Chain A
Amino acid sequence: MKRRNFLRSVVATSALAALPGLPTLARIMHAPDAGMGWISAPVNSNNNILVVIRLFGGNDGLNTLIPIHDDEYYRIRRDTASVDMSIKAESTLPIPGTTELAFHPSLKPLSTLFNENKVAIVQGVGYPNMDLSHFRGTNIWLSASDSNVFETTGWMGRFLELRHHEKLESATDPFAIEMGDKMGRAFVGMQTHMGITYETNTPIAEKVGLSTENILGPDLEALIHRQAKDGKKFIRRTDSAVNSVPYGSGEYYNGPGNFGKSLRTISRSIRGGLTTQLYIVHTGQFDTHSNQQYDHAQQLDEMSTNVLAFQREMEEAGMADRVSMLIMSEFGRRPAPKATGTDHGTAAPVFVVGSSVNGGLYGVPPSVHDLNSDGNLHWHVDFRSIYASALEQWFGDDPTTYLPSVLPRQFPTIPLFRTPSSSLTSAQNVWPSPCSNTVNISVTTGTTGPVRATITDMNGRPLRVYDAEVSGGAIQLNVSSVSQGMYVVQLASGALQTSVPIIIRR
């Protein structure tokens, strides 16, 4: 089903689609050939932060985690007498818990964090029918779509939209930030862009000029108005947060691509109190078709040095428990080298870094003894399993919430994060739906009352406030005095908050 058609079909029941003033990007954007469905579902919330680090170009997994005792690796990487793309075992760094694999010598900083149990390494990550184009591969990773689906939105954009749909008008902090001046697909939601690009000293519009909504129809014009307003608000707020704290003590590696500078700015924005939960920063030229030995070592050095510097700043600021990094690339590289480099390949490792991470090795390393017909490695873990793990364990979300709008279907999770969900609800249920006089809403096991429940209309205006006691893992609200229609129930208990759409029909 086309996304726009799907949206039309659910517009009557989707709380999001009914929000007034919401830019209707979906109606005017290119519809994907097949897209994610959209559900209206309750969402949890916590204030955890994920910094996504994208290694552009396709990171060579085999030379990142080296199978030091595998003769076939050394044979296959030694293409000719003059070309040896292997990493010598004696130069590698040991990985505790395994004698089979070792870190590339440039990953000393990452190895330090691994030894502190702050790095989870998921091995052999990929997806069915991997696309080896940088553009398509990146699009698939950022959209979380299948390889035969051409999705124009990003999984993080959809997730944020689902989580924050009731705050689109009122938010003071950006929902997501892409470092640099070029916005990719990562934070594009079904209805609107959920992120901003950010660099210091970004100019902002003080006003929007001559306008009237009766010419183009409200969609494009409203979109531009809204984006200008949000851009001004979010950039000012980010500037303010970044400038409110000094530079940290992290020893960043400032390479040509500004990766270190970007991570440093992210650190300042987090320490400055910005509540933004998702960041994305791109680094590198991991597309090592030639001169791989030197270039790859440089790229890994820059990446891991900066990751360590950032982590240390978070630790010093006492914020490391709620900030994690996800380090990924659009594909790996082919085992057999070509001249002084390697071509695009398939499976590669993904790293999750942070104080709340369950450090260790996950999955099995892809084997150079078992290549596919194109000479590429077989993958074992679908990359969306990592996203599902982050959604559930890091952001405290639940499959009933994020499926199928954020991820296309359920993927097995991996215990990558130590922090349990700190959300108010876990198995979100609203019953009956539609309701008539009473409505029951389940809350997380262990939540003790009272729970402050506020029924608001779709403009966010509060209509009724209840202090409800939890009974049997749920609260019950008497809505008999509320007119028929669609509403949002905002739930709060201590620091935990969530919101749930309800429909009242009699």
Chain B
Amino acid sequence: MIPELEPITASEFDAQAASHLLRRTVIGARSSEIRLALNTGLEATLNRLFTPFDPDRSSIQHMIGNKVWSESRPHSSPRWYGFFDEKNGRYTDLRQWICRNIVTSPTSLQERMTLMWHMHFPSSCGGSHFAEHCLDQNEVMRKLCLGDLRELVSQVTLGQAMQIYLDGVHSYWNDRENAVNENHAREFLEIHVLGHSSRTGQPLCSQQDIVSIAHAFTGTHITEEWSAYDAASDDLLRDRECSWSAHRWDPRDKNIMGMVGPWKPTDVVNILFQQRSSDIAWWFAKRLCEEFIARPSETSPHEVEGIADLLLTNDFDIGRTMRTLLSSKLFFDRRFRLRLVKTPMHLWLGSLRILEVTDIPDFFLDSPRHGDDLISRLAAFGHLPYEPPNVSGWHRDLDWLTPSDVSRRIAQCTKLAEGKLTFKNESTNWRVNLYNPVQVIDRVGGMNNIEALSQTLCNDVLGVDDTDLIQRLHSQLRSRPMSLETRQQQGLSSVMSSPFYQLF
């Protein structure tokens, strides 16, 4: 193991280190969590972070069971539109559930990792896709986010959501017809597991590799079973599921990375991890590095190589690798603190979590599916779960900082801090204020003492322990007479509209 991955000492785990650890691993780390981490030490904090949690599934109960439904009625029927309303509504249900899990999660790495894997393996709701398939995929990511990377890759790659998103279900081969679609194989190789080029800039796969894997991937299709007839509503329902059929699969030998055989979809991931383990480890090491350490231009190939070796040593166990990484000198290196850009989901949902906006879950649950809610706001920022802009996924890091985006982000953060962000419930025409800023200040560490307030806001909300900055906020808050409420609100507004708040 390279020296940079050696653990820090207990004494090095100071307030700033605790803040950094929580900020990088929890979307919207709270003041109370940072303080607890400092008080209990690194090991205990990591234990908490690596503890999985089971989110409340009551809002998605109607989607569980791997059955999705369609309707056979003609397009002209009003019921047809009802079907689409329901289908689209379920996307919203899924997205709200994902968002709510982030906002309400305990101190756990699970949500951060699940979101990371979703952004690494993007797939989409919409079109002929069903929210239920995406829910299944999200559950896989949730379950395996810190598990065996091979298993995660395998289950996501061969799962229904990805098969549909990358046209795998339209790819088949038989003696009469060649309908092999290369989309899935190409993105699997070039985006999901290998990348475009090796450490030395050499191409990692050829068109022939893509074709071979595309043929091995054939055979998956959507089955439709007539399963119910609802006489009351005159709806004929059917279930849609993906399954694999030998008669749609190309049984001929394929040469995949030098191994020749009549490979099936399930063989592909195993062959890849067997034949190209070093390249795969390097690809995922880069991903972990840019997600948790620093942007590629700020880390060295030596450090990425160290993480790749760690993945190999741990036999692609993500949890063990992450535990070492999050204890390491590399992770806590001061050069890398507060240098990554929050994604819109991180910014928004993290803000709600920091502010402990506990009424949001109820609002989600009671909200009709077409309200002016958080989901539509996330969509406006181009970061809606299960709606990637393209097959390679969403922006990363500095890509989010375009002039228009920065301006919008800061404008919305300011509104949020000032309690002026309202949500409209279209069915009742209510306008709902998101939270009471004074109550939030109380939760963040509410206090009448301006000095303590300044310090708390800088340390815990921004993650900046800088005397000048604290002093500047302190001066700002005492510059003119104002009520306690106004002072608290202005303090929160100052920190949340700060450039630092865009970073973590």
Q: Given A209-B493, A227-B403, do A133 and B190 touch, yes or no (CB 8 Å)?
A: yes
Please report the C-alpha to C-alpha distance between residue A479 and residue B435 in the assembled complex, in whole angstroms: 64
Cβ-defined contact, B496 with A212, below 8 A: no
Cβ-defined contact, B410 with A228, below 8 A: yes
Contact with A along B136-177 (1 / 0, CB 8 A): 000000000000000000000000000000010010100011
When distances are taken between beta carbons in the complex, the residues of chain B under 8 Å from A28 are 295, 297-298, 398
Cβ < 8 Å to A, chain B residues 360-408: 380-382, 389-392, 395, 397-399, 401-408
Cβ-defined contact, A339 with B170, below 8 A: yes
Cβ-defined contact, B338 with A214, below 8 A: no
Q: Given A29-B297, A215-B469, A228-B410, do A209 and B496 touch, yes or no (CB 8 Å)?
A: yes
Q: Given A29-B398, A210-B494, A215-B469, do A132 and B403 touch, yes or no (CB 8 Å)?
A: no
Chain B interface, >50% SS class? helix
Q: Given A212-B468, A290-B170, A343-B182, do A227 and B500 touch, yes or no (CB 8 Å)?
A: no
CB closest chain-A residue, reference B400: A183
Q: Given A31-B297, A212-B468, A289-B181, do A183 and B402 touch, yes or no (CB 8 Å)?
A: yes
Cβ-defined contact, B197 with A227, below 8 A: no
Contact with B along A9-47 (1 / 0, CB 8 A): 000000000000000010111110110000000000000
Q: Given A28-B298, A183-B395, A231-B404, do A211 and B498 touch, yes or no (CB 8 Å)?
A: yes
In the complex, which of the residues A221, A226, A228, A234 has the most CB atoms of chain B within 10 Å of its own CB atom? A228
**Chain A: number of interface residues, binned into ranges:** 35 or more
Binds B, one of A195-203, A273-281, A311-319: A195-203
When distances are taken between beta carbons in the complex, the residues of chain B under 8 Å from A197 are 402, 404-405
CB closest chain-A residue, reference B191: A135
When distances are taken between beta carbons in the complex, the residues of chain A under 8 Å from B403 are 174, 193, 196, 226-228, 230-231, 234
Query: Which one, A195, A206, A210, A232, contacts B402 given CB within 8 A?
Result: A195
Query: Which one, B176, B180, B399, contacts A338 given CB within 8 A?
Result: B180
State how many angstroms separate the Cβ of A337 from the closest Cβ of chain B. 9
Cβ-defined contact, A338 with B179, below 8 A: yes
When distances are taken between beta carbons in the complex, the residues of chain B under 8 Å from A4 are 297
A148 CB within 8 Å of chain B:
yes
Cβ-defined contact, A203 with B398, below 8 A: no
B412 CB within 8 Å of chain A:
yes
Please report the C-alpha to C-alpha distance between residue A186 and residue B305 in the assembled complex, in whole angstroms: 31
When distances are taken between beta carbons in the complex, the residues of chain A under 8 Å from B401 are 193, 223-224, 227
When distances are taken between beta carbons in the complex, the residues of chain B under 8 Å from A56 are 390
Contact with B along A443-479 (1 / 0, CB 8 A): 0000000000000000000000000000000000000
Cβ-defined contact, B380 with A181, below 8 A: yes
Cβ < 8 Å to B, chain A residues 36-92: 56, 79-80, 83
State how many angstroms separate the Cβ of A240 from the closest Cβ of chain B. 15
Cβ-defined contact, B196 with A150, below 8 A: yes
Cβ-defined contact, A136 with B405, below 8 A: no
Cβ < 8 Å to A, chain B residues 398-442: 398-399, 401-412, 414
Query: Which one, A133, A188, A215, A344, contacts B191 given CB within 8 A?
Result: A133
Contact with B along A226-257 (1 / 0, CB 8 A): 11101110110000000000000000000000
Cβ-defined contact, B500 with A211, below 8 A: yes
When distances are taken between beta carbons in the complex, the residues of chain B under 8 Å from A232 are 407
In the complex, which of the residues B172, B211, B406 has the most CB atoms of chain A within 10 Å of its own CB atom? B406
Cβ-defined contact, B497 with A79, below 8 A: no
When distances are taken between beta carbons in the complex, the residues of chain B under 8 Å from A289 are 167, 170, 181, 183
In the complex, which of the residues B176, B191, B401, B409 has the most CB atoms of chain A within 10 Å of its own CB atom? B401
Please report the C-alpha to C-alpha distance between residue A230 and residue B406 in the assembled complex, in whole angstroms: 9
CB closest chain-A residue, reference B458: A210
Q: Given A195-B402, A231-B403, A235-B404, do A208 and B207 touch, yes or no (CB 8 Å)?
A: no
When distances are taken between beta carbons in the complex, the residues of chain A under 8 Å from B90 are none
A204 CB within 8 Å of chain B:
yes
6 A-B pairs, CB-CB below 8 angstroms?
Answer: A27-B297, A183-B399, A188-B399, A204-B408, A205-B497, A209-B501
| Given pairs A209-B493, A212-B469, A232-B407, 8 additional interface contacts (CB within 8 A) | A33-B197, A79-B177, A135-B391, A148-B197, A150-B197, A207-B410, A210-B472, A221-B499
B residues lining the A interface (CB < 8 Å): 167, 170, 172, 176-183, 186-187, 190-191, 196-197, 201, 203, 207, 210-211, 295-298, 338-339, 380-382, 389-392, 395, 397-399, 401-412, 414, 458, 462, 464, 466, 468-469, 472-473, 476, 493-503
Pairs A-B, 6 closest by C-beta atoms: A231-B407, A209-B497, A205-B410, A231-B403, A339-B179, A227-B406
